[in-house]
Structure formats: structure tokens, C-alpha cells
């Protein structure tokens, strides 16, 4: 069957984080910024880790971080957890059932 109590709450939190991350990637792709942002993050990380590589800021001048509300992600995660409690669907998909 499914899980209950603290395990269900933990599952909901993890699913909300994953759904939120997926929604963020979809949002960047919709705006046509996905690969540009990935490249900038990789250049930023290389500048922090590899000696001699020029450090670049994470955002260009005039840009700001994209605000994403997690209400939709939390709602979808809660529905997925309720579905899992009823049918064991997520546990079956992951082979943990």
C-alpha cells in the first residue's frame, strides 16, 4: 500500500522540490533562455573552481533572478502524494512497493 504520516509529508516535500525544479526548467525553456542560463552557470562554476579561469557574475548587468512561486508545485506534489496513498502509484513506479 502507500505511506502515511511523516513519510507522506516527506514525500510531498521532495515531490514539491522536484516539480518546482521541473517547472523552473520549463519556464526558462519557454522564454528561450534555458541553454544560455546553463552556459552561464557552467562558466560561473568554472570560474569558482578552476584556477586561472575568469570569474563571471551569475547574472548579466540589468538581469534579475526569475521569481517562481511554488504554490503550483506544492499543489501537484500534494495531489501526487494523495494518489500514492490511494493506489501506491509512485512506490510502484520506483519499485519500492
Sequence spans of domains, the chain: 1-57+81-97
- Comparing 94 with 19, the larger pLDDT belongs to 19
What digits encode the pLDDT tens for the residues 3-51?
A: 567 777 787 888 888 888 888 889 889 989 889 888 988 998 999 999 8
Checking if the pLDDT of 2 tops 60, the result is no
Distances (CA, A) of 44 to 21, 30, 56, 61, 62: 20, 23, 5, 14, 17
Distances (CA, A) of 97 to 10, 83, 84, 90: 17, 14, 10, 8
pLDDT of 66 reads: 67
pLDDT of 45 reads: 92
The grid coordinates of residue 12 equal 510531498
Predicted TM-score of the model (pTM): 0.64
Reported as a pLDDT band with limits 50, 70 and 90, residue 78 is: confident
The grid coordinates of residue 30 equal 519557454
Amino acid at each position: 500500500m502507500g505511506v502515511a504520516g511523516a513519510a507522506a509529508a516527506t514525500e510531498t516535500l521532495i515531490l514539491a522540490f522536484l516539480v518546482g525544479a521541473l517547472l523552473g526548467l520549463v519556464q526558462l525553456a519557454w522564454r528561450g533562455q534555458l541553454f544560455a542560463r546553463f552556459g552561464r552557470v557552467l562558466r560561473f562554476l568554472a570560474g569558482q573552481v578552476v584556477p586561472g579561469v575568469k570569474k563571471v557574475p551569475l547574472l548579466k548587468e540589468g538581469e534579475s533572478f526569475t521569481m517562481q512561486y511554488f504554490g503550483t508545485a506544492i499543489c501537484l506534489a500534494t495531489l501526487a502524494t494523495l494518489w500514492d496513498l490511494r493506489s501506491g502509484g509512485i512506490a510502484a513506479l520506483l519499485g519500492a512497493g
